[in-house]
Structures are given as C-alpha cells and as structure tokens.
C-alpha cells in the first residue's frame, strides 16, 4: 500500500522491456508516469541479465548527462 514515487527528488531513469510479461508496458507507463523510461523493444523482465550491454549504455548516457 506504500507509494514512494513522490519522494523521487532528483533525476531518474527507468529501464523497461517492451515484452515484459510481469510488468507489461501499460503498467510501467502508469506506474512510472513522468519518469524518463528507456524501452528495449525485445526486452523482458530481466534486462540486466538478457541485455547487459544495452542497460550499461543507457545508464552511462544517463550518468553522463547528470554532470552537465
């Protein structure tokens, strides 16, 4: 019952898989409304395991943008 989304005070990036059977795109979009989301078109629920390079690239680009 606890929702802490309002506590997000800084920049945030969500990584999501468009083929996620556990948290489908509609649920991700509703739950993370207003948060920048990078979508992997073939990704499922375990992106760090199935697409580690893609995740690392998105995280690195996001982090690089924070220092500007």
Kindly report the backbone phi and psi dihedral angles of residue 17, in degrees, each rounded to the nearest multiple of 5, phi listed first.
-100, 130
pLDDT given for residue 9 in this prediction: 84
- Say if residue 1 is exposed, middle or buried (CB neighbours under 10 Å; 0-12, 13-18, 19+): exposed
pLDDT of residue 67: 79
The mean of the pLDDT values for the chain is 94
| pLDDT at res. 51 | 98
In this predicted model, which residue has the larger pLDDT, 4 or 27? 27
């Amino acid at each position: 019952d606890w929702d802490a989304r309002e506590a997000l005070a800084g920049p945030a990036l969500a990584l999501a898989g468009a083929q996620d059977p556990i948290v489908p795109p509609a649920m991700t979009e509703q739950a993370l409304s207003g948060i920048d989301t990078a979508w992997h078109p073939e990704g499922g629920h375990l992106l760090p395991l199935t697409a580690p390079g893609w995740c690392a690239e998105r995280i690195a680009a996001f982090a690089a943008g924070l220092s500007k």
